[in-house]
């Protein structure tokens, strides 16, 4: 079946049409590479706004920035879509260790997002190191009770596509406090979800099971994790956690920022492309996901600059609160449902501002084949991988609740988890050509789907 459809689509794509598409692909690329404003937009977002956790003052500033940047594309309409978001505050935090030799060492550590702290007071306990959930499950309660459990689970380096390593390890960040609290532990330290040969701790969202105590959770970078492993093997280690972090119950008002070019032939058919405007409260949220925001804006700017009048309506969306609540993605899907909008495709760019390598798809095989028929056009732009099953978090409510086909831009993944959710995720670590090439691939894909009415 798969083969037959592929052949059929290839026949449909006459040589003349291929030449026209190829010429338009080149125009799109030249426009972004020579005149693109996404890199400068990213500079302004990172340097004038900085990191911007949902519910913070900085996130409000980011909304103002996003609305202005969207208007500068010359698109037909820009609006703010109200979203209520949670607010988590980090406050002061500190982690120190006393080794069996009596040496006290301060570690670089970050509390995990949405976790509760120690109420600002120091909390000390002996450290119990385990390799993972299985080892913890094998131990008797009396060995766990009153301890700070150190989950020394490494991000696997054998996966070449690093998102697989992330998918494998992230359960420790997400679930370990409740797993340990159930057995009587007082706190949790995790090895960061990090590919880095460095000492940056990585934050990120976690979740409590309400049946157990909400114990604090902190992440440490790989070098500190190696040291802690070594000291635990040598003898008894005592850790002291001190943190003020807290998740506020009351939701705060915020917005998704939306820009739109109306379709010339099918204004009711909508293609959404987006990234998330919020970031963690460290670094500058440059790769995650300032890059995706400025690339989505760049798609609209490029279409206007080239005088492309898309047949379908094209929307760029800067989603709020992807990191610790997904309220923006949910609000967007709810609105689409209540207005009975016809979304033909949703594309997310939230995997870093690195050179694009492919596009992932969460849709029917016959729909994937429609895009794959044009695969050859993308090869000159370094985009070749159309085999992965990847969409994106913000568009997942559209995909799951409204059955909208979803796609995700897949950039080179080797460096993403060096920077992800750390103080190193800054503008200087984004390359302007790689960032722009991502915007090129998105604009090319959207042009194809709209021009050939693929969905």
Question: In whole angstroms, how close is the CB of 322 to Zn ion at the nearest point?
Answer: 6
Question: In whole angstroms, how close is the CB of 276 to Zn ion at the nearest point?
Answer: 6
Number of residues that bind Zn ion (CB under 5 A): 3
The nearer residue to Zn ion, 213 or 393, going by C-beta atoms, is 393
- β pairing state of 342-348 and 406-411: parallel
Query: Under the criterion CB under 5 A, does residue 390 sit at the interface with Zn ion?
Result: no
What is the SS3 assignment for 342? strand
Choose which of 67, 217, 260, 288 interacts with Zn ion (CB under 5 A): 288
Other C-beta atoms closer than 10 Å to the C-beta of 175 total 17
The packing angle between helices 291-305 and 57-71, to 10°, is: 20
Question: In whole angstroms, how close is the CB of 55 to Zn ion at the nearest point?
Answer: 17
Angle ∠(370,438,60) on CA atoms, nearest 5: 115
> In 207-322, which ranges are E strands?
217-220, 238-243, 246-261, 266-276, 312-319
Q: Which stretch binds Zn ion (CB under 5 A): 73-81, 145-153, 344-352, 437-445?
A: 344-352
The nearer residue to Zn ion, 289 or 390, going by C-beta atoms, is 289
Q: Which stretch binds Zn ion (CB under 5 A): 239-247, 346-354, 358-366, 423-431?
A: 346-354
Question: In whole angstroms, how close is the CB of 255 to Zn ion at the nearest point?
Answer: 18
- β pairing state of 77-89 and 246-261: antiparallel
* Dihedral, 26, 28, 34, 37 alpha carbons, nearest 10: -160
The nearer residue to Zn ion, 277 or 363, going by C-beta atoms, is 277
Query: Under the criterion CB under 5 A, does residue 289 sit at the interface with Zn ion?
Result: yes
Choose which of 31, 278, 298, 350 interacts with Zn ion (CB under 5 A): 350
Query: Under the criterion CB under 5 A, does residue 281 sit at the interface with Zn ion?
Result: no
What is the SS3 assignment for 345? strand
- β pairing state of 238-243 and 123-130: antiparallel
The nearer residue to Zn ion, 116 or 288, going by C-beta atoms, is 288
The nearer residue to Zn ion, 350 or 362, going by C-beta atoms, is 350
Q: Which stretch binds Zn ion (CB under 5 A): 25-33, 79-87, 222-230, 347-355?
A: 347-355
Q: With beta carbons less than 8 A apart as the criterion, state whether 287 and 430 touch.
A: yes
The sign of the torsion formed by the CA atoms of 397, 400, 405, 408 equals: positive
The nearer residue to Zn ion, 85 or 97, going by C-beta atoms, is 85
Query: Under the criterion CB under 5 A, does residue 434 sit at the interface with Zn ion?
Result: no
Residues that bind Zn ion (CB under 5 A): 288-289, 350
């Amino acid at each position: 079946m798969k083969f037959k459809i592929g052949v059929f689509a290839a026949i449909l794509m006459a040589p003349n049409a291929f030449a026209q598409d190829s010429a338009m692909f080149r125009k799109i690329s030249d426009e972004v590479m020579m005149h693109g404003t996404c890199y400068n937009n990213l500079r302004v977002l990172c340097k004038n706004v900085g990191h911007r956790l949902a519910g913070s003052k900085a996130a409000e500033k980011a909304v103002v920035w996003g609305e202005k940047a969207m208007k500068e594309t010359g698109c037909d309409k820009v609006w703010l879509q109200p979203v209520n978001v949670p607010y988590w505050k980090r406050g002061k935090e500190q982690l120190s260790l006393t080794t069996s030799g009596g040496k006290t060492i301060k570690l670089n550590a970050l509390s995990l997002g949405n976790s509760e702290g120690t109420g600002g007071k120091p909390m000390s306990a002996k450290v119990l190191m385990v390799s993972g959930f299985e080892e913890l499950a094998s131990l008797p309660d009396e060995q766990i009770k009153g301890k700070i459990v150190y989950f020394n689970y490494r991000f696997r380096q054998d996966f070449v596509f690093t998102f697989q390593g992330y998918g494998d390890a992230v359960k420790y960040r997400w679930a370990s406090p409740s797993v340990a609290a159930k057995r009587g532990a007082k706190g949790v330290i995790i090895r960061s979800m990090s590919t880095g040969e460095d000492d940056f701790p990585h934050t990120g969202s976690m979740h409590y099971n309400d049946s157990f105590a909400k114990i604090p959770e902190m992440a440490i970078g790989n070098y500190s994790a190696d040291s802690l492993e070594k000291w635990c093997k040598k003898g008894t280690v005592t850790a002291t956690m001190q943190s003020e972090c807290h998740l506020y119950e009351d939701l705060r008002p915020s917005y998704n920022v939306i820009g739109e070019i109306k379709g010339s032939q099918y204004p009711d058919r909508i293609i959404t492309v987006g990234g998330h405007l919020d970031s963690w409260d460290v670094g500058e949220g440059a790769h995650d996901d300032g890059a995706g925001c400025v690339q989505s804006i760049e798609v609209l700017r490029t279409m206007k600059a080239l005088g492309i009048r898309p047949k379908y309506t094209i929307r760029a969306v800067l989603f709020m609160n992807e990191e610790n609540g997904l309220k923006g993605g949910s609000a967007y899907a709810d609105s689409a449902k209540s207005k009975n909008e016809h979304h033909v495709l949703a594309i997310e760019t939230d995997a870093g501002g690195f050179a694009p390598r492919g596009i992932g798809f969460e849709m029917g095989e016959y729909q994937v084949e429609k895009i794959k028929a044009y695969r050859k056009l993308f090869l000159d732009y370094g985009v070749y991988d159309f085999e992965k099953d990847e969409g994106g978090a913000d568009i997942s409510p559209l995909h799951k609740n409204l059955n909208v086909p979803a796609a995700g831009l897949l950039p080179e993944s080797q460096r993403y988890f060096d920077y992800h959710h750390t103080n190193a995720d800054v503008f200087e670590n984004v390359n302007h050509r790689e960032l722009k090439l991502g915007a090129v691939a998105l604009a090319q894909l959207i042009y194809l789907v709209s021009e050939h009415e693929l969905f």
